[in-house]
Amino acid sequence: MSTPPAWSHYLPRLGLYAGVAAVLLLVNVGLPRLLNAYLLQILVFAACNIILASSLNLVNGVAGQFSIGHAGFMAIGAYMSAWVSVAYGKTWLAPYADQPCGPLVVSAYLMGLMLLGGVAAAVGGLVVGLPSLRLRGDYLAIATLGFGEIIKVVLLNVEAVGGATGLKGVPQYSTLFLVFGAAVVTVAALRNIGNSIHGRALLAIREDETAAEALGIDSAHYKTSAFVIGAFFAGVAGCLYAHYTQFIHPRSFDFMKSIELVLIVVLGGGKLRNVAIAAAAVTFLPEGLRQVKDLLHLQTDPRMVIYAAILIAVMLLRRERVLQAVLPRRKEGASRG
């Protein structure tokens, strides 16, 4: 990948990369001093949701393959990496705990795990991507839903990863640097893919698969690729999530999580930047609404009602843009001819 002259192409961007890294380091060091654990956790969840939703956007928004099993891929990445850490990682890394290079070793280790979790999830993506070649629209959605449920049920029954009691004692290796860094890299990579021959091939398939094929686009290859790439990033997010919360349970990755991600993609209207914003908003909003109960001195917590009402309002007010890229396109009648 790096023939000598290829480097020069990246030189003008080194400043940008260094700047982003510096900000991330600052965040890594500074935020834990400013915010309490609760707020930090919400921030981490928001970053994970950004990774998850923007990768789902590649499948649902760009390629137009309606998937509602994305949490299943997250589960694969989370369980795969968490199991490695619980079974081996903690012992491997124990000697480095007190050394000055410790944090670096742990970070390198976690990056390896992110890759591992991502690849494991990508294999799952391949398994789901294959039926997508024969299924469309609602039928594909049901198949992906089934996949997500299968993953959950399998995890509930595998004792090696805790079964129905969940997997405890996952070391907290995720740092803000890695979590936010992964979110930035994911969004940038997916944006760049979108603006390439590959991204346009996916858009073409979403718009009209028959026409795309007639232009030399291998739709089977691309539809499968969309699932594989989307699943990879979901697996990465799963790994980061597991190594932050330190406890994972199959129910953290159930149907409701998948739906939440679809919701974010729909709210973002299939546009990557808006999807990222929506991901953050959907993470913060229910938490922020916890305050309402106290502010209004209510007996019961109205936050889910308000949350739902806000979602409905957003859908009504921005319906066209929201739905533009996401819903399976219905033919607008054969307009003439």
Partner 1 sequence: MAESALLELASCTVRFGGLTAVDDLTLDVAPQELVSLIGPNGAGKTTVFNAIMGVYPLASGGIRLAGRDIAGLAPHRVAKLGVGRTFQNIRLFKGITVLDNLRAAMHQDGDYDLLRAAARSRTWAATESRLEARAMELLAVFGLQARAEELAGGLPYGEQRRLEIVRALATGPQLLLLDEPAAGMNPAETQHLMGLIRSLIERYSLTILLIEHDMKLVMGVSDRVVVLNYGREIAAGTPQEIARDPAVIEAYLGEPVH
Identified binder of partner 1 from the candidate list 138, 218, 256, 304, rule CB under 8 A: 218
Q: Smallest gap, in angstroms, from Cβ of residue 22 to partner 1?
A: 20
Identity of the residue, 206 or 303, whose beta carbon is nearer to partner 1 in the bound complex:
206
Say how many residues make up the chain.
337
Query: Measured from the CB of residue 60, what is the shortest distance to partner 1 in angstroms?
Result: 14
**For residue 78, how many C-alpha atoms fall within 13 Å in the half-sphere facing its CB?**
30
Near partner 1 by CB under 8 A: residue from 197, 296, 316, 317: 197
Q: Which is nearer to partner 1, 54 or 85 (CB)?
A: 54
Residue 6 interacts with partner 1 (CB under 8 A): yes or no: yes
Alpha helices (runs of H) in the chain, residue ranges in sequence order: 4-34, 37-57, 70-84, 90-93, 102-129, 137-157, 176-194, 197-207, 209-214, 219-245, 255-267, 272-288, 290-295, 303-317, 319-324
Min separation Cβ 261 and partner 1, Å: 21
Closest CA to 261 of 44, 58, 77: 58
Distance CA(235)–CA(113), nearest Å, equals 10
Q: Does position 203 bind partner 1 by CB under 8 A?
A: yes
Residue 334 in contact with partner 1, rule: CB under 8 A: yes
Strand partners, 248: 167
φ and ψ of 83, to 5 deg: -65, -45
167 has which bridge partners? 248
Stretch that binds partner 1, among 80-88, 119-127, 171-179, 205-213 (CB under 8 A): 205-213
Cα separation, 324 vs 123, whole angstroms = 30
Whichever of 100 and 337 has its CB closer to partner 1, that residue is: 337
Q: Which is nearer to partner 1, 101 or 214 (CB)?
A: 214
163: left (phi over 0), alpha (psi -120 to 50) or beta: left
Alpha-carbon gap, residue 205 to 222, rounded angstroms: 8
Binding segment (CB under 8 A) for partner 1, from list 72-80, 133-141, 152-160, 206-214: 206-214
**Smallest gap from residue 212 Cβ to partner 1 (A):** 7
Site for partner 1 contains 11 (CB under 8 A): no
Among the listed residues 58, 86, 113, 212, the single contact to partner 1 using CB under 8 A: 212
In sequence order, what are the residues at sequence separation of 6 or more whose Cβ sits closer than 8 angstroms to the Cβ of residue 71? 52, 148, 234, 253, 254, 255, 257, 258, 261
215 binds partner 1 (CB under 8 A): yes
Shortest distance in whole angstroms from residue 326 CB to partner 1: 11
- Return the DSSP state at 328: P
> Is residue 122 a contact point for partner 1 (CB under 8 A)?
no
Closer of 159 and 332 to partner 1 (Cβ): 332
In this structure, what is the dihedral angle of CA atoms 78, 80, 86, 87, given to the nearest 10 degrees?
180
Binding positions for partner 1, rule: CB under 8 A: 1, 5-6, 9, 188-190, 192-193, 195-201, 203-204, 206-208, 210-219, 225, 229, 324-325, 329, 334-337
